[in-house]
Amino acid sequence: MQPLPVELIQRIDEALVIARGMSSGPRASDVDRLLAALLAVRQQALSGTLEASRGGSSLGLTRGVADWIDSRDAPILKAVAEVERIYRRQAVP
């Protein structure tokens, strides 16, 4: 499987920056899980082992963050939603 376009990696990196800024807050354990998930997806994308979405699958990042984030306008929620959007758009074989 070919690595996904650079755009996905860039969006993951942006989400990582936001999440790292939240890592010492009250939801540190949730943020740590998100960081681990983002890093895993990034590594899979770089290595070409990230499975294609087939147009409908998601990475589960947005749902996971939505379960614990206080505001639906939170930058981290918007960032992971953008990662998901690009994944669904570009990972269709």
Is 14's pLDDT higher than 50?
A: yes
CA distance 10 to 70: 25
pLDDT for 2: 41
Residue 20 pLDDT class (50, 70, 90 cuts): very high
Is 91's pLDDT higher than 90?
A: no
For residue 5, which phi and psi values (nearest 5 degrees)?
Answer: -60, 160
- What mean pLDDT is reported for the chain? 88
Q: Is 12 within the bounds of a domain? A: yes
Rounded average pLDDT over 4-22 = 91
- The total number of structural domains in the chain stands at 1
Q: Domain range holding 11?
A: 6-90
pLDDT for 78: 97
pLDDT in tens, 51-68: 877 767 889 999 999 999
CA distance 73 to 71: 5
Rounded average pLDDT over 62-83 = 95
34 by Cβ neighbours in 10 Å (0-12 / 13-18 / 19+) ranks as buried
Q: Is 1 within the bounds of a domain? A: no
CB crowding 60-82: b at 16 or more within 10 Å, else e: ebbeebeeebeeeeebbbebbbb
